[in-house]
Structure 1
């Protein structure tokens, strides 16, 4: 059995939560079941093979419309299950706005 490496509390779904994985460039998509989730990552059971997919960085789509999603990177693989780490978003608008003000002032 694999030792727990995740920091923080996690929520375990009794039946799993249906979701999709999608490549950053949109060239591939796979169904998956989110088995558990924490603030920093999740454990997914992937439908079909992950062989040949670029899993370094991808989106985890949590809604059918794609409005709820997280940007992820692969942490580990164990058969059809993978662990993912959620990547933080950088607010480019705020950073760009500060630079503009400094340049104008």
Structure 2
């Protein structure tokens, strides 16, 4: 498994935590189970086809209303399990860079 290559400490969930993946343009959605998570990424079990993940970027919807979400990029796939990396918001990165350089 991919556990050994992790740079950030992960929290492995003991119970199924249902989440959804959704295309950035909103044209597709997949039900998933969140298996583990860190501040930099997550591992998911995807229901249905994983072909849509080849789009590289999508949203991980953490709430049923979609108000809690993270922008992600595809990292690896092994059957129905996928690894995703959280993508930092460009505005937040610029703000952090400005604060540290001033």
- What range describes the TM-score normalised by the shorter chain of this pair? 0.7 to 0.9
Q: TM-score, normalised by structure 2?
A: 0.83
Moved more, 11-20 or 69-78: 11-20
**Unaligned stretches of 5+ in structure 2?**
96-102
**Structure ranking higher in helix proportion:** 2
Q: TM-score, normalised by structure 1?
A: 0.81
Q: CA deviation at 1:35?
A: 0.1
Q: 1:42 to 1:53 in 2, by over 3 A?
A: closer
| Number of aligned residue pairs | 95
- What is the aligned-residue RMSD (CA, Å)? 2.0
- Which of the two has higher C-alpha Rg? 1
Query: Secondary structure at the residue paired with 1:91?
Result: helix
Structure 1 counterpart of 2:56 = 56
Deviation per residue, 1:3-49 (Å, 9 max, x gap): 52111211110123110000000000000001000110000000111
Q: CA deviation at 1:2?
A: 4.1
**Unaligned stretches of 5+ in structure 1?**
96-105
Displacement over 6 Å in runs of 4+: none
* Mapped partners of 2:64, 2:81: distance in 1: 22
Query: Secondary structure at the residue paired with 1:21?
Result: strand
1:83 aligns with 2:86: no
